[in-house]
């Protein structure tokens, strides 16, 4: 299992190395190399850490092949020898974005205000059709 994970990681790393020079933004190329170096330096001695490492490298691979970086790869990799899971990292990023929405809409208001109009128009359209 660990050998398969390591081979998958190496294959993704080679793919990133082939496509990273084609990134249009030089800052993205630097971030990509920082993340690839960080992920390559992580220990792969247990199944959980190699799984986390492969999640990140596959996500980076998808983004590099599409010529843009976003999400956790927009900032430098964290210090230390451990990373939280990719799902947790993406959830934290989404939570940071949603706090802006929640500050704009107090809890006592309907969220979003245009949904009532849509549902009423949909209801009228459905009730007018004959089946």
Provide the pLDDT for residue 130: 52
Instruction: Say whether pLDDT at 119 is over 60.
Output: no
Q: What residue ranges do the domains of the chain occupy?
A: 1-83, 85-131
Q: Are 50 and 1 in contact (CB under 8 A)?
A: no
Helix then strand count (H, E) for the chain reads 5, 0
Q: Which of 41-45, 55-59, 115-119 has the lowest mean pLDDT?
A: 115-119
Q: Cα separation of 76 and 33, whole Å?
A: 10
Average pLDDT over residues 54-79: 94
DSSP string of 63-101?
HHHTT---GGGGSPPPSSS----HHHHHHHHHHHHHHHH
Buried b (16+ CB within 10 A) or exposed e, 17-27: eebbeebeeee
Q: Which of 31-45, 49-63, 101-115 has the lowest mean pLDDT?
A: 101-115
Q: Is the dihedral of CA 91, 95, 97, 102 positive or negative?
A: positive
pLDDT digits (tens, 9 = 90+) for 8-45: 999 999 999 999 999 999 999 999 999 999 999 998 88
pTM to 2 decimals? 0.73
Average pLDDT over residues 39-56: 90
Region for 67 from its dihedrals, namely left if φ exceeds 0, alpha if ψ lies in -120 to 50, beta otherwise: left
């Amino acid at each position: 299992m660990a050998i398969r994970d390591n081979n998958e990681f190496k294959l993704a790393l080679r793919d990133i190395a082939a496509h990273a020079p084609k990134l249009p933004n030089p800052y993205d190329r630097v971030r990509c190399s920082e993340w690839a170096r960080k992920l390559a330096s992580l220990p792969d001695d247990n199944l959980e850490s190699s799984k986390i490492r492969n999640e990140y490298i596959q996500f980076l691979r998808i983004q590099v092949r599409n010529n843009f970086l976003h999400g956790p790869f927009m900032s430098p990799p964290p210090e230390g020898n451990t990373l939280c899971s990719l799902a947790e990292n993406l959830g934290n990023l989404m939570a940071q974005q949603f706090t802006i929405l929640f500050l704009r809409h107090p809890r006592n208001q309907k969220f979003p205000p245009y949904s009532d109009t849509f549902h009423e128009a949909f209801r009228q359209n459905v009730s007018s059709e004959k089946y």
